[in-house]
Amino acid sequence: MPELSRKLINFTDSVIRRMTRISDKYGAINLSQGFPDFDPPREIEEALKTAAFKGPHQYSITWGAQNLREALAEKQSKFMGLDIDPDTQIVVTCGSTEAMMASVMTVCNPGDKVIVFSPFYENYAADAILSGAEPIYVPLYPPDFSFNRVELESAFKQKPKALILCNPSNPSGKVFTLEELKFIAGLAEKYDSFVITDEVYEHIVMDPYKHVYFASLPGMFNRTLSCSSLSKTYSITGWRIGYVIGDERIIENVRKVHDFLTVGAAAPLQEAVVAGLKLPMEYYSWLKNLYTKKRDMFLQGLSEAGLKYVKPQGAYYVLIDVSEFNVRDDLKFCEWLAKEVGIGAVPGSSFFKEDVNYLIRLHFAKKDETLLKSIEKLKTLREKAQFYRE
């Protein structure tokens, strides 16, 4: 057989999505891949029903249906404090996964470098490598996952084409402070780099933390590709609707990449999700409160189970320290956890460039009853782990 692309040697399939399959195999409660087990807002479900009979069923405009872009521009302008033009500054994509891939492909030439903070969401390295670029990593240090300013500037001295910023951050739950973001902005300006954001958890930020959109910082709109999605905000991760917002000269080019990658996101789903974007502002405070309660309930359960964790400030993940169980191979530990404890988790090593194998990631985007059941199972972990052998 002829040789396959060498790009593929440098990464595996997604461990997050692999863990969903492993959880399902053992009938475990899946707290690995982050998605809710509760329904989206009723308004969206109703709109989907209507779209099923009224359409559209054929392609929409490749960069997104007009009414969806208008609704998106209106909502995001409000939240981002910008005046976004639906006709020139938005591309609707198949999830933020495509938004990020199309963004990295738009800005990178072969051999370019892209800064990625570690821990990271595992798609970023693949985005860079498939675009012919090379990820360079800058560590975020627990407990607050802050970066060292000198280390970040050294990475910028390598003249990266872009920095990828996941804020609020997956998997750490970090919400970058205004000072940190301003520091990144200063370096992006000084070294003339783009910033590609992943802001899919923009509405899941617990008090007292606040989400600051990177593109809203002075002078940053022209060098920022703001990627996000409707998956987490409206509990529709399977719909695969995301978007990129940016300067029209950038977006014109993201559109080209997107057009040839996927042509467009599913037309009836684009139509139906407009109902979500039209929800009143109270929806977003309701969502924040919902996840704050879930986080607090879940963390309390983890404490009762005697587990150590870092308290997340945003998003819906928590990193748990499992070092006391003598874990050498965290993937094996997670398989054991799914099989013997009945909980699906993601091995921490899949998020770190550094050699970290003492963390696992769980998520709390689940019904209260599912979280309570999970806590009961997790309470058996320490006892069962006495018999854990690799």
Please, which residue, 73 or 204, has the CB nearer to ligand GLN? 204
Q: How far apart are CB 85 and ligand GLN at their closest, in Å?
A: 28
State the residue for tokens 């802050």.
146
Residue whose Cβ sits closest to ligand GLN: 34
DSSP state of 56: -
Q: Give residue 267's region: left, alpha or beta (phi > 0; psi -120 to 50).
A: alpha
Q: Verify binding: residue 25, ligand GLN, rule CB under 6 A.
A: no
Number of residues that bind ligand GLN (CB under 6 A): 7
Please, which residue, 94 or 188, has the CB nearer to ligand GLN? 94
Q: How far apart are CB 123 and ligand GLN at their closest, in Å?
A: 7
Q: Give residue 138's region: left, alpha or beta (phi > 0; psi -120 to 50).
A: beta
Please, which residue, 97 or 270, has the CB nearer to ligand GLN? 97
- Which tokens sit at 128? 């860079």
Please, which residue, 23 or 33, has the CB nearer to ligand GLN? 33
Question: Cβ of 56: how many Cβ atoms within 10 Å?
Answer: 13
- Which tokens sit at 349? 């090593």
Selected from 23, 30, 33, 93, the binder of ligand GLN by CB under 6 A is 33
- Count of helix runs (H) and strand runs (E) in the chain: 13, 14
Q: How far apart are CB 33 and ligand GLN at their closest, in Å?
A: 4
Q: How far apart are CB 198 and ligand GLN at their closest, in Å?
A: 9
Longest dimension (CA), the chain: 60
Report CA Rg, the chain: 21
- Which tokens sit at 235? 């509990």
Q: Verify binding: residue 131, ligand GLN, rule CB under 6 A.
A: no
Q: Verify binding: residue 16, ligand GLN, rule CB under 6 A.
A: yes
Q: Verify binding: residue 34, ligand GLN, rule CB under 6 A.
A: yes
Please, which residue, 17 or 149, has the CB nearer to ligand GLN? 17
Selected from 12, 13, 17, 56, the binder of ligand GLN by CB under 6 A is 17
Instruction: Give every CB contact of residue 60 below 8 A, 6+ residues apart in sequence.
Output: 68, 264, 265, 267, 270
The DSSP line for 340-389 is: II-EE-EEGGGG-SS---SEEEEE--S-HHHHHHHHHHHTTHHHHHTT--
Selected from 60, 93, 97, 374, the binder of ligand GLN by CB under 6 A is 97
Q: How far apart are CB 97 and ligand GLN at their closest, in Å?
A: 5
Q: How far apart are CB 316 and ligand GLN at their closest, in Å?
A: 9
**Angle at 140 (CA atoms; ends 137, 146), nearest 5 degrees:** 140
Please, which residue, 35 or 79, has the CB nearer to ligand GLN? 35
CA 56 – CA 166 distance, rounded (Å):
33
Q: Verify binding: residue 172, ligand GLN, rule CB under 6 A.
A: no
Residues at the site binding ligand GLN, with contacts judged by CB under 6 A = 16-17, 33-34, 97, 121, 170
